Amino acid sequence: MNSNTEEIKARVNIVDFIGGYVRLQKAGSSWKACCPFHGEKTPSFVVNDEKQFWHCFGCGKGGDIFTFLMEMEGLEFREALKILAERAGVEISQYNAQAEKEKNRGMEILELTSKFYQKQLWDGMGKEKILNYLFERGLQEKTINDFRLGYAPGGWSNLTDFLLGRGFSMEEISRTGVVVERQNENNAHRSYDRFRNRIMFPIADSMGRIVGFTARVAPGEDESQAKYVNTPETDFYHKSRILYGIDKAKNAIKKMDQVVLVEGNMDVIASFQAGIENVIAVSGTALTQQQIETIKRYTKNLCLFFDADSAGRQAIIRSCEMAFANDLNVSIITPKEGKDAADVVKKDSEELKRLVKEAIGAMEYFLQNLFSQYDSNNIAEKKKIVDESVALISNFPKEIDKQHWGKVLAQRLNIDEKIIYNEISDKIVGKNQYPRREEPEGNEKKLPFQAKKRSDIISEKILFLFLKNDDVWRKAEEEYHNEIEEYLGKNNFLSSVLAIGKKNDFKFDRFELSIKDEEMREFLRKLKFSGEAGIENEEKSKEQAFENDWKYFQQLMEELGREKKKEKIDFLARKIATAEKNGSKDEVKKLTQEFSDLFKDTH
């Protein structure tokens, strides 16, 4: 693999390649630009032609041509390697041939499936009923084709028969999620089309490759079961990473330096048709960290347009908390009569453009809502305003934001600013700080507005899952013992919580009684009760609950592994910057090689 990457780097000039994404300017022996990964006015993003290396002194990111493409397009290493190899004309000789073949076959199935659904819409069973419905919704023929909308006909094996006829095996087809396989009491397997009598919305990754589908029940059919059905998690489709429409919107997002985030596929399509092309969707869920990382590659300015119902309001709060923590500038659209983007566009396309321009800052939006909901002259309700405001303000990573909104809140409540600042500090310390066990008692300082690392936040979620479902921790102990010890063991406080939890089978009552440290006991209570407050009340069997919790645990471990790797990469990047500043050429060479080896080992 090493010879492949070196040959590609020799053939593809890093300055030319990165210059296709950002505007580079010559600066001595290097090239400079404003970093594409974080907002800045003074260029701190440097590309070194001789070393084939890039680094941003603002955000700390850096690497070679492969890491740049991975960051910009949200790709795995092998995907970036394949794209650059094709550009360089290099044959990848050391691929895992079987894995690569399976991946390519799966992508081919998904592409053919999309074409099959399109054919059924325009020339098959959906031509009359479904096309007319889409036209009635205000969509134009060009828009329907641009987004490759289709129709999955009724019946159990239309798509299955089509794909089998094209030479694909049932195992290959099942891997993409477009069919369902069931095993009956006699251990016989039965397969059938997952999507039947539904309008199909193909979902593409940032490179425009089909990875899955969203399916809407056909108009006039029973919507009581599931109005929308998505492709399940597969090797190709990961809901927590996907942003619907990102392949079409990314250039407009970069050009306008803003992204409009809506809830549904139709909202994206209608907005795009109306001329608002910097729009994407999250499929009715709150933002995930992975989705935010994708957005940050293109802009730091996020405009939310979610439904005004209860679920929409909760999604706005959760999304803003995540966006604030990632230092995004967030604004919120507030339409009249609680309409969504598609409804607004259908009535008047110019109205949506006006709403985007008039979107108000997220914190101002929340403060206005709180002051209209509660009586600020009533002490009990005044406390509620403070509590709910501080819960949001404490997510900001920069002190300037916390001090600004703390001051605004204090002025509007006519109270001393110090009271608000103390509340913010207490919130952060209670939520984000762990006692420094390695330091002698009495030397610890309370540091207002100091937030913990992302990896620690993920670790907390893992610990909460163990408390919530002790079957998860037992299986995790069997299958992820080494990773858990490695990741959580580097934080003395969390490792102590983990060790005591294991001794008590993560049974909360036993766990709490066994803790003598009051700070740890308080942490445990907050972990349990704040976690439970965020769980939706949904009836599930014990088996379903375990399955959901286990999938979530695996996702968290994957995220935690990435964060730990990022921390190591950031540490090396800082050491490289220091060595370059000190003129230590041998040290720079050594660290750069270590940096490059780390990417090869982790991808």
Segment 135-182, tens digit of pLDDT: 988 899 999 999 999 999 998 999 999 999 999 999 999 999 999 987
- Tell me which of 198, 230, 262 is where a domain ends: 230
What's the confidence (pLDDT) of residue 572?
81
CA distances from 241 to 21, 233, 237 (A): 22, 11, 8
- State whether 486 and 548 are in the same domain: yes
Domain annotation covers residue 425? yes
- State whether 195 and 304 are in the same domain: no
Q: Which two tokens stand for residue 352?
A: 């949506």
* Contact yes or no for 261/303 (Cβ under 8 A): yes
Percent of the chain with pLDDT over 70: 84
210-217 β-sheet, strand order: 150-152, 198-204, 210-217, 228-230
For 363, half-sphere exposure in the C-beta direction (CA atoms, 13 angstrom radius) is: 22
β strands within 142-237, DSSP E: 150-152, 179-183, 189-193, 198-204, 210-217, 228-230
Q: How far apart are CA 308 and CA 318, in angstroms?
A: 14
Domain annotation covers residue 366? no
What's the confidence (pLDDT) of residue 540?
56
Domain annotation covers residue 586? no
Domain annotation covers residue 143? yes
Q: How far apart are CA 499 and CA 161, in angstroms?
A: 54
* Contact yes or no for 384/391 (Cβ under 8 A): no
What is residue 155's DSSP assignment? S
Mind listing the pLDDT tens digit for each residue in 406-430?
999 999 999 998 889 888 887 765 5
Structural Rg of the chain based on CA atoms: 26
Q: How far apart are CA 295 and CA 328, in angstroms?
A: 10
- State whether 36 and 115 are in the same domain: no
Please state, as a whole number, how many other Cβ atoms lie within 10 Å of the Cβ of residue 217: 18
- State whether 400 and 424 are in the same domain: yes
What's the confidence (pLDDT) of residue 519?
67
Domain annotation covers residue 195? yes
Domain annotation covers residue 443? no
pLDDT greater than 50 at residue 439 = no
**Residue in 390, 527, 366 with CA at minimum distance from that of residue 449:** 390
* Contact yes or no for 75/27 (Cβ under 8 A): no
- Tell me which of 67, 95, 123 is where a domain ends: 95
- State whether 71 and 105 are in the same domain: no
pLDDT category at 588 given cuts 50, 70, 90 is: confident
CA distances from 73 to 90, 201, 202, 251, 385 (A): 21, 22, 19, 12, 41
- State whether 199 and 134 are in the same domain: yes
pLDDT greater than 90 at residue 548 = no
β strands within 358-502, DSSP E: 360-361
Domain annotation covers residue 237? no
Q: Which two tokens stand for residue 113?
A: 């499936």
β strands within 334-395, DSSP E: 360-361
Percent of the chain with pLDDT over 90: 29
* Contact yes or no for 258/278 (Cβ under 8 A): yes
What's the confidence (pLDDT) of residue 512?
62
- State whether 405 and 521 are in the same domain: no
- State whether 119 and 81 are in the same domain: no
Query: Based on the structure, what is the number of domains in the chain?
Result: 5
For the entire predicted model, the pTM comes to: 0.62
Mean pLDDT score of the chain: 82
- Residues near 419 by beta carbon (within 8 Å), at least 6 away in sequence: 410
Kindly tell me the sign of the dihedral angle through the C-alpha atoms of 204, 206, 208, 210. negative
> 549 lies in which domain range?
454-562
Mind listing the pLDDT tens digit for each residue in 378-392?
999 999 999 999 999
Mind listing the pLDDT tens digit for each residue in 362-381?
999 999 999 999 999 999 99
**Residue in 137, 253, 159 with CA at minimum distance from that of residue 206:** 253
- State whether 225 and 265 are in the same domain: no
Backbone angles phi, psi at 217, to 5 degrees: -60, 140
- State whether 16 and 80 are in the same domain: yes
What's the confidence (pLDDT) of residue 371?
95
What's the confidence (pLDDT) of residue 500?
81
Mind listing the pLDDT tens digit for each residue in 559-577?
888 888 878 887 887 788 7
What's the confidence (pLDDT) of residue 174?
92
CATH code for position 10: 3.90.580.10
- State whether 77 and 108 are in the same domain: no
Domain annotation covers residue 238? no
Q: What is the mean pLDDT of residues 36-48?
A: 83
CATH code for position 118: 3.90.980.10
CATH code for position 287: 3.40.1360.10
- Tell me which of 74, 95, 116 is where a domain ends: 95
* Contact yes or no for 570/60 (Cβ under 8 A): yes
Q: Which residues on adjacent β-strands are paired with residue 193?
A: 179
Q: What is the mean pLDDT of residues 58-69?
A: 83
- State whether 425 and 507 are in the same domain: no
CA distances from 50 to 164, 256, 421, 584 (A): 51, 33, 49, 17
* Contact yes or no for 56/38 (Cβ under 8 A): yes
What's the confidence (pLDDT) of residue 579?
79
| Strand-pair category, 259-262 with 301-305 | parallel
* Contact yes or no for 66/599 (Cβ under 8 A): yes
